[in-house]
A and B are shown apart, each in its own frame.
Chain A
Amino acid sequence: MATKKHIYHHGRGIGFSYPLSLQQRIYSMFIAPLAILIILLLLLRVLAIVPSLSFHALPLSYLWKALGATFVRLVVAYFFALFVSIPLALLITKSTFAEHLLLPVFDIIQSIPVLAFFPLIILFFIHYHFLNGAAIFIIFLSMLWNIVFSIVGGLKVIPNDIKWVAHVFNIRGFAFVREVLIPAVVPYIITGSLLAWAQGWNIIIVAEVLHTYIPGGSADQDLFGIGSVLVNAIARGEHSMFVAAIVVMVLGIAFLNLFVWQKLLHYAERFRFE
C-alpha cells in the first residue's frame, strides 16, 4: 500500500525551492502574504461572514502571546517527531525484511486521521493533569509521518557509489549513520519538516480547543494559543478578534517561511547528490 504521501516523497524533485532572485524574494516576503490577507478579508466581507470590523481596541500583545504559546507547542512536538522519525526511517530501510514488515504498517497508521485518536489522548493526559501534553502529542502524531516517509525516500535515493565509498573506506556502523546517512537525508528532513509544520498548523486549530473533546467541558479547559483564540472568537461572535487572529497567524507563518524554511531549503542544496 503506497499512499499519495509515500509516493510523493520517493521522488527526488520535491517541489520546494529557495527564492534566489530579488523579484522572487520580494514576492515571497511581501506580496504573497499580503495577497493572502487581502483575499481572505475580501472573502469575509463579500460573503458577509464578518459584518463590521473594528481593530482599534484589539489586544494585539495578547494575540502575539497566543501565537508564541502555539509556536512553543509546535516546536516541542516537532523536535519529538524529528527525534523519533530518524531512527524509525533508519529502521525501515535497514533491511528489505524490515521494510516489507514495517512500511505497510506505517502506511496504514499514517492513513488513519490523527484526530480519531484525540479523545483517547485527551483522556490519557487528563488523568495526569497535563493537557498541554495532549495537544503536543496530537501535533507530534500529525507531524511524524511526513518526516518519516520523507527520510525513507531520501535514504532510498542515496547513490550506490556513495555506499561503496563507505564500504571501501571502512565507514561502518554509527560512523556510517553520522557521516553519510544523516547528511544525505538533510534535504529530505527539511522538506519533510516543512510539510510536517504545515500539518501542525492545521491541527493546532483543534488541538488547543480541548473542551469539545472533554465530556461536559468548557472553554476554560482550552489551551491558550492562537488556535483556541481563533475558534473561541468566532464562537463568541468576536469577528474583529477572529480576523486579527488570522492576520497574526498568517504573519507568523510567513515569517517562519521566510526566515527559517527558505533559508534551510537553500542550505539543504549543499547536501544534494548531483
Chain B
Amino acid sequence: MQNDLDSNNNVIVFDAVSKVYQPGSEIALHDVSFAVREGEFVCLIGPSGCGKTTALKIIAGIEKESSGVVVRPEKISMVFQSGALLPWLTALQNVALGLRINHVPEHIVQKESLKHLEMVKLHDLVNKYPRELSGGQRQRVGIARALAMNPSVLLLDEPFSALDPKTTEELHQDLITIWKETKKTIVMVSHLIEEAVSLGDRVVLMNNFSIKKIFSIALSRPRRENEVEFSREVSQIRRSFFS
C-alpha cells in the first residue's frame, strides 16, 4: 500500500485519513489510505453510511479531514446524486455558471458550455430549464457542468442511482466515451457492484468507515454483464462485500 501512495503518478492520495464531524460524535471515516493514479477510473462502493461519500467530499474539499494527509489537485469538479442544477437557470446557463463566476471571458464561456453540452448529447436542449428535462438529461447537464471547468479529477456521487436501467446503461456508455476522450481521472461513488465493475479500473470496497479491500478490474472494454469474466469479478467483490 505504501508503494502505491508514494507513486509519482498519483493525483489523489489518502494517507491514514480519518474524519469525525463533531468532537465526541461518531466516526465518519477511519484510517483510510488509498491513491488514485492519473487517468484512472476508480469506484468507491460499500453499504449505505460506510463513509464513501464522506471520502468523496474530502477529495472535493467540501469536508476537511480530521486527521491524516490528503493530496489532491486544485482543479476538481463534481457531479451530484440529485444533479444539483439551479432551477432558475437553463441547461446552458447551468453549465456556464462555474466558468462565468471564475472570470472566464464570455465568448469562451459560451463556446465551452456548448461544446460540453454537445459532448453529453444535449445540444438540442440548451435552453431548457431543469424542470423541463428528464432525470437522465439533468445528470448529463451535471456532467457537462463539471467537465466545462476542465478539471483534472472528476468526482461522481452516485450519479445514476435515481435513474431507470435503460438511461443508466446509456449514461454508463457515454461516461466511458467521455473518459476515454478527455483522459480525466474519475472517482465515482456507487452502491452497485455491477456498476463499479462495469466502469472502474479499480474498485475500492469500503465497510465500517474504512477500506475493506481494493480490487483491480482487468477486464477489457466494453464490458458486458452477461460475460463470464464480468460475473466472476462481481461474485468476488460480492463475497468480500457480505463477508
CA distance A239 to B84 in the complex (A): 59
**B57: nearest chain-A partner, CB-CB:** A164
Distance in angstroms from A212 CB to nearest chain B CB is 46
The answer on a CB contact under 8 Å between A164 and B60 is: yes
Q: Which residues of B contact A271 (CB under 8 A)?
A: 87-88
Contacts of B130 in A (CB 8 A): 274
Q: Which applies to chain A's interface (DSSP): helix, strand, loop or mixed?
A: helix
Interface residues on chain B, size class: 20 to 34
Q: Does B12 contact A (CB under 8 A)?
A: no
CB–CB B61/A167 < 8 A: yes
Task: Report the separation of the CA atoms of residues A168 and B63 in the bound assembly, to the nearest whole angstrom.
Answer: 11
The answer to whether A270 and B88 have CB atoms under 8 Å apart is yes
> Is A23 among interface residues, defined by CB-CB distance under 8 A?
no
Which residues from B are CB-within-8-Å of A161?
80-82, 84
Interface 1/0s, chain B 75-105, versus A by CB < 8 A?
0111011101011100000000110011000
Note all chain A residues with C-beta closer than 8 A to B86. Answer: 162, 165, 179-180, 183
Report the separation of the CA atoms of residues A251 and B243 in the bound assembly, to the nearest whole angstrom.
73
A186 in the interface (beta carbon within 8 A): yes
Closest Cβ neighbor of A176 among chain B residues? B101
CA A145 to CA B98, docked complex, whole Å: 34
Are A164 and B102 also in contact (CB < 8 A) when A159-B84, A171-B97, A271-B88 are? no
Residue A128 lies at the interface, judged by CB distance under 8 Å to chain B: no
- Say whether B230 faces chain A, with CB atoms less than 8 Å apart: no
Report how far A171 CA is from B213 CA in the complex, Å.
36
A174-203 vs B, CB cutoff 8 Å, 1 = contact: the mask equals 010001100100100000000000000000
Cα A161 to Cα B130 in complex, Å, equals: 15
What's the least CB distance linking B222 to chain A, in Å? 30
Identify B88's interface contact among A164, A175, A183, A274, CB under 8 A.
A183
| Bound: A22/B134 CA distance, A | 28
Residues of A within 8 A of B61 (CB): 167-168
On chain A, the residues within 8 Å of B87 by CB distance are 270-274
Question: Does chain A have a CB within 8 A of B1?
Answer: no
A169 to B80 alpha-carbon distance, docked (Å): 12
Q: Which residues of A contact B88 (CB under 8 A)?
A: 183, 186, 270-271
Q: Does A170 contact B (CB under 8 A)?
A: yes
Q: Across the interface, do A270 and B102 meet the contact criterion of CB distance under 8 Å?
A: no
Contact pattern, B 126-142, Cβ under 8 Å of A = 1, otherwise 0: 00011100000000000
- Given the complex of chains A and B, what is the CA–CA distance between A164 and B77 in angstroms? 11
Given known A-B contacts A165-B84, A167-B61, A170-B101, A270 and B76 have beta carbons under 8 A apart: no
Interface presence of B228 (CB below 8 A) = no
The listed residue (A162, A171, A272, A274) touching B98 by CB distance below 8 A is A171
| Among A162, A164, A180: residue with most chain B CB under 10 A | A164
Complex CA distance for A168 and B76, rounded to whole angstroms = 7
Kindly provide the distance from the CB of A150 to the nearest chain B CB, expressed in whole angstroms.
18
Per the bound structure, the CA–CA distance linking A170 and B75 in Å amounts to: 10
Chain A residue at minimal CB-CB distance from B80:
A161
**Assuming A164-B62, A270-B131, is B84 touching A171 (CB within 8 A)?**
no
Q: How far, in angstroms, from A170 to B145 measured CA to CA in the complex?
A: 13
Q: A186-B88, A274-B131 are in contact. Are A171 and B101 (CB under 8 A)?
A: yes
Partner of A170, one of B80, B82, B102, B131: B102
Is there a chain A Cβ closer than 8 Å to B149's Cβ? yes
The reply to whether A164 and B101 contact each other, CB–CB distance below 8 Å, is: no
Per-residue contact bits, chain A 129-170, to B (CB 8 Å; 1 contact, 0 not) = 000000000000000000000000000000101101101111
Q: How far is the CB of A189 from chain B (nearest CB, A)?
A: 13
> Which residues of A have CB within 8 Å of B97?
169, 171, 179
Residues of B within 8 A of A170 (CB): 98, 101-102
A272 vs B88: C-alpha distance when bound (angstroms) = 8
Given known pairs A168-B62, A171-B98, the reply for A159 and B78 (CB within 8 Å) is no
Question: Which residue of B62, B76, B82, B98 is within 8 Å of A159 (Cβ)?
Answer: B82
A272 and B85 CA atoms in complex are apart in Å by 11
Return the chain A residue nearest B81 by Cβ: A161
- Nearest 5 pairs of A and B residues by beta carbon: A169-B98, A161-B84, A161-B80, A168-B78, A165-B84
Tell me the A residues contacting B by CB distance below 8 Å. Answer: 159, 161-162, 164-165, 167-171, 175, 179-180, 183, 186, 270-274
Given contacts A170-B101, A170-B102, 14 further A-B contacts (CB under 8 A): A161-B84, A165-B80, A165-B84, A167-B62, A168-B77, A169-B145, A170-B98, A171-B98, A171-B101, A179-B86, A180-B86, A270-B87, A271-B88, A274-B87
Q: Which residues of B contact A (CB under 8 A)?
A: 57, 60-62, 76-78, 80-82, 84, 86-88, 97-98, 101-102, 129-131, 145, 149
